[in-house]
Amino acid sequence: MRCGKDVKLEPKEKRVRCPFCGYKVLVKQRSGAGKPIKAR
């Protein structure tokens, strides 16, 4: 979190608030697929 403390995240929660500093974090799930990029 912003204060540098370790906070356990629950996998099913979308939003997390740090119990130490109150900083809010939005957790987004990413797909496993990568994005293809053309080499130059």
Tens of pLDDT, residue by residue over 12-34, are 777 778 888 888 877 776 776 77
Side chain identity at residue 34, one-letter code? G
Whether the Cβ atoms of residue 14 and residue 26 lie closer than 8 Å to each other: yes
Q: What is residue 1's predicted lDDT score, i.e. its pLDDT?
A: 59
Provide CB contacts within 8 A for 18, sequence distance 6+. Answer: 1, 2, 3, 5, 7, 24, 25
Task: Supply the pTM of this predicted model.
Answer: 0.43
- Both tokens of residue 13? 């929660």
Domain locations along the chain = 1-28
